[in-house]
Chain A
Amino acid sequence: MRSLTQALRRFAAGDRLAALALGVLCVMLFLGVFGPWLPLGDPTKLAAGPRLSPPSWEFPFGTDELGRSFLPRVVEGIRYTFLLASMAVAITAVLGTLLGMLAAYLGRFVDQAVARFADLLFAFPPLLAGLLVAAVAGPGALSVIAVISAATLPLFIRVIRSASLSLAERGFVIAAEVAGASTWRILIRHILPNVMSAAIVQLTYALSIAMIIESALSFLGLGEQPPRASLGTLLRVSSVYLTIAPWLVGFAGIVLSLAIVSVNLLGDGLRDRVDPLRGRPLT
């Protein structure tokens, strides 16, 4: 944990790219949270302007097929995309950390069971799992969250398991065992703090995957249902007008890609700090 705070502190100085990404994410989070109170226009007001009008002073991102201003729509899309992705990743993080630690610490049967469970989840490509879940439970936010969690869980479990594995044999864990600490206490007090940095790095990668899956499912019509719209939903609707109003797909696509690339760059930067991989020069 200490290494992580140090990492964050030296971040801005050492890694401009990651610091920039962090800045972009902060702006997006701010827009997502406070969007409704910002003077950007009403995302729900129909026929606020002409339909499918190009970007103008009044409508910076143009208007959509129902004449709504597209900028507040995109801001709303950011909100839903981040909301769904982070809720799903939160579930993954809690479950994955727990299962990974248990597998590593208890070993044997539990380890095998967790590994097979991860294999099983891993066997379903996320979008097909999305099709299946949509068939069963209908499209919607809950289905999306379930699919994302299932898709990101295996990687999370594997990373936490291998990070915990080396710890389970270490002196301080064995000392705690000898002192009679319960399994839970050892997991929470001794192992968890030491896998935290690995978990946080993995969290950022899981978030980027989550945003991709969320928007892809929404693009297929299996995600958030209108009138609520994530960035993927906006892209789905806008792609119908791709040739006559390309700016709609353009703005939504750029904002979505920018969000995901920022998360990824942040993850890269964090990982470089927490677990620097420095090979030897060949000269």
Chain B
Amino acid sequence: MRILTFLGSRVLFALITLTGASLLVFIALRLVPGGFADVVLGPFVTPEAREILTARFGLDQPVWVQFVKWFLALFQGDLGTSLVTQQPVAAELLRRLPVTAELAFLSLLFALSLGLPLGVASATASTHGGGRFGRMVGALGASVPDFVLGSLFIFVFSVWSLGLKAGGYTPLAEDPIENLLGMILPAVTLGVFGMALILRTTRDAVLTVLTEGYIAAAVARGDTPRQILRHHVLRNASVLVLTVSATYFGYLLGGAVIVEVLFSVPGVGFYIYSGLLNRDYAVVQGGVLFVAALFVLLNMLVDLAYVLIDPRIGASRSQQ
């Protein structure tokens, strides 16, 4: 029963958050000073254009009716229609999601492959008074903003062509090698912060586990450091690392605006940013909600995955 309550509460929380997010995004766009129509259409507006817009968005109806209609449409996957291209926003976003997902995946890969070992090494070294290198790398990586790092890469790789491409996107289906060469720099630019994040999280998680009694017990049994790390430390520390990795991945799915703009990667962030520049508010509204929903769902999935990792949640199932 406990596990069902746990799963149920996670799903319920996610639904509450999603509803709240959609309400927030809806209200935000109603708050536009000067009225939605004025902002969208600009100062030189004909009464006819205003009427068309009013009819299309139901702006003459009470606000709550507008919200309910919009909210119900969300459930059918309708995030609105672009004011500029007249394309459905949801379809446009889904078309760009794989690009962003690839970038996010590569960044996470980079972050994990460096952050995990460095974090573990830094934690074990710090029990002997060391670990300064890991701490320094962690602080540096968490501090250099992605656009500074990105600018540096662009400068270096545009002055001296070193095989990688800075800017210029090739679709994966067209040429996987070219695609990868173009994706490496944006992925590393994004991944450095994640590397630092995962390094610090891993370090803290490992250090916390190292204070536990079962670690002392394993040492007392004569296990080697390697055995203890492999059998006891990593698994127990993984819960926290998984949570942070998932949050980071969710952040990458929507937060890659700067890197996508900097390296001209046609992903979700780039699309929403151009929406803002084109005063295409339907795109901004739909896009932000889309990303928030992805983030919430991803975190919910991670919560559910705890059941598999931590038997204190999962084992109640086998007891019944």
Instruction: Select A123's contact among B21, B33, B229, beta carbons within 8 Å.
Output: B21
Binds A, one of B41-49, B56-64, B70-78, B142-150: B142-150
Task: Give bound CA distance, A120 to B23, whole Å.
Answer: 11
Q: Which residues of B contact A215 (CB under 8 A)?
A: 145, 147
Contact (Cβ within 8 A) A253 B255 = no
Contacts of A132 in B (CB 8 A): 25, 28, 284-285, 288
Is B154 part of the contact surface with A, judged by Cβ < 8 Å? yes
- Bound-state Cα–Cα, A281 to B127, Å: 5
Bound Cα distance A281, B31 (Å): 57
> What mask results when residues 244 to 283 of chain A are scored 1 for a CB within 8 Å of chain B, else 0?
0010010001001100110111001000000001111111
Residues of chain B lying within 8 A (CB to CB) of residue A133: 28
User: Which residues of the other chain, A, contact B13 by a CB distance below 8 angstroms?
Assistant: 116, 119
Is the beta-carbon distance between A239 and B288 smaller than 8 angstroms?
no
Cross-interface CB contact of B210 among A127, A219, A257, A280, cutoff 8 Å: A280
B145 touches A256 (CB 8 A): yes
Query: Please, which residues of chain B bring their CB within 8 A of the CB of A249?
Result: 148, 151-152, 155
**Nearest-neighbor residue (CB-CB) of A265 within chain B:** B139
Closest Cβ of chain A to B216, distance in Å, is 6
A212 within 8 A of B: yes
B305 at the A/B interface (Cβ < 8 Å)?
A: no
Q: Which residues of A contact B136 (CB under 8 A)?
A: 17
Closest to A264 in B: B139
* Chain A residue nearest to B294 in the complex (CB): A123
The distance in angstroms between the C-alpha atoms of A249 and B147, with both chains bound, is 10
Question: With an 8 A cutoff between CB atoms, is A129 at the interface?
Answer: yes
Is residue A23 contacting chain B, with contact meaning CB distance below 8 A?
A: no
Interface-facing stretch out of B86-94, B201-209, B307-315: B201-209
Indicate if B173 sits at the interface (CB-CB under 8 A). Answer: no
A136 at the interface (CB under 8 A from B): yes
| Any A CB within 8 A of the CB of B35 | no
Given A132-B288, A136-B28, decide whether A127 and B257 contact each other with a Cβ distance below 8 A: yes
Taking the nearest CB of chain B, how far is it from the CB of A96, in angstroms? 18
Say yes or no: B207 contacts A282, CB within 8 Å. Answer: no
Distance in angstroms between the alpha carbons of A247 and B138 in the assembled complex? 26
With A124-B21, A132-B288 as contacts: A282 and B215 at CB distance below 8 Å: yes
Q: Does A1 contact B (CB under 8 A)?
A: no
Is A136 in contact with B29, judged by CB distance below 8 angstroms?
yes
A116, A137, A216, A282: which has the most chain B beta carbons within 10 Å?
A: A282
Question: Quick check: is A243 within 8 A (CB to CB) of the other chain?
Answer: yes
A235 within 8 A of B: yes
**A110 at interface by CB-CB < 8 Å:** no
At the interface, yes or no: A125 with Cβ under 8 Å from chain B? yes
* Residues in chain B near residue A280, CB distance under 8 A: 127, 210-211, 215-216, 219
Q: Which residue of B lies closest to A279 (CB)?
A: B210
Contact in complex: B206, A268 (CB < 8 Å): no
Contact B255 A135 (CB under 8 A): no
Residue of chain A at shortest CB distance from B124: A282
The reply to whether B127 and A135 form a contact with Cβ atoms under 8 Å apart is no
Q: A26 at interface (Cβ–Cβ under 8 A)?
A: no
Interface string of B11-31 (1 = CB under 8 A from A): 001001100110011001101
A231 and B285 CA atoms in complex are apart in Å by 29
Verify if B159 is at the interface (C-beta below 8 Å from A): yes
Output the least CB separation between A19 and chain B (Å): 14
Number of A interface residues at 8 Å Cβ cutoff, please give it.
47
Contact call B284/A135, Cβ cutoff below 8 A: yes
Chain B, residues 79-121, CB within 8 Å of chain A (1/0): the string is 0000000000000000000000000000000000000000000
B132 at the interface (CB under 8 A from A): yes
Taking a contact as CB atoms under 8 Å apart, the answer to whether A281 and B128 are in contact is yes
Q: Find out whether the CB atom of B272 lies under 8 angstroms from the CB atom of A128.
A: yes
The reply to whether A119 and B17 contact each other, CB–CB distance below 8 Å, is yes
Judged by a CB distance under 8 angstroms, whether B276 is at the interface is yes
Residue of B nearest to A253 (CB): B148
User: Closest Cβ of chain B: how far from A78's Cβ, in Å?
Assistant: 15
A280 to B261, CA, bound (A): 46
Q: Which residues of B contact A243 (CB under 8 A)?
A: 155, 158-159
What separation, in Å, do the CA atoms of A136 and B26 have in the docked complex? 11
- Give A123 to B290 CA distance when docked, in angstroms: 11
User: Contact between B251 and A125 (Cβ–Cβ < 8 Å)?
Assistant: yes
B41 → chain A closest CB, angstroms: 15
Contact pick for A131, options B17, B210, B276, CB 8 Å: B276
In the complex, B126 has a CB within 8 A of chain A: yes
Residue of B nearest to A236 (CB): B147
Q: B258, A264: Cβ atoms under 8 Å? A: no
Q: In the complex, how many angstroms separate the beta carbon of A233 from the nearest chain B beta carbon?
A: 12
Alpha-carbon distance between A132 and B285 when the two chains are bound, in angstroms: 7
What 5 pairs between A and B have smallest CB-CB spacing? A279-B210, A282-B225, A261-B143, A125-B255, A253-B148
23 contacts between A and B (CB under 8 A): A17-B136, A116-B16, A120-B17, A120-B21, A124-B21, A125-B251, A127-B269, A128-B254, A131-B257, A135-B284, A219-B258, A239-B151, A246-B155, A249-B155, A256-B145, A256-B148, A257-B143, A260-B142, A264-B142, A277-B211, A280-B215, A281-B124, A282-B219
Binding site for A on B (CB under 8 A): 13, 16-17, 20-21, 24-25, 28-29, 31-33, 123-124, 126-128, 132, 135-136, 138-140, 142-148, 151-152, 154-155, 158-159, 204, 206-211, 215-216, 219, 225, 228-229, 250-251, 254-255, 257-258, 261, 269, 272-273, 275-276, 281, 284-285, 287-288, 291-292, 295-296
